[in-house]
Amino acid sequence: MSFPNIPEDINPIEDFDKEQVALFLLASIAFEELALAHVMNAEAEKLQFALGTLDDNDRVVDDLDDLLQINRSVERVLRTVVKKEIILQFKLEDVVEFLLDD
């Protein structure tokens, strides 16, 4: 997975107006959301691979304890994703508040 590049014509020293700052903050939220989507997709593929449903492969894990361990691992990752989503929601609310302040 490659990360998008910020255009070269953007000068970080330049004074940005309020809308430009908000745009950059919204873009940062969008990039983080995209990264979280990739994490969730990887976790789904992990489960599909273990169950043999990824590309119609045979089941890789037949032992119930192993399946439960994989499930716990996925649950921990998804809990972390949910925590990050809450933080991103706060960040989005802060950006909206920033835009509405005069």
> How do residues 38-73 score in pLDDT, each as one tens digit?
999 999 999 998 888 877 777 788 899 999 999 999
Q: What H or E segment, with its residue span, contains residue 93?
A: helix 64-100
Percent of residues, the chain, with pLDDT higher than 70: 88
What span, in angstroms and rounded, lies between the C-alpha atoms of 95 and 21? Answer: 9
9-18: list long-range contacts, CB under 8 Å, 24+ apart. 18/98, 18/99
Enter the pTM of the model: 0.79
**pLDDT above 80: residue 11:** no
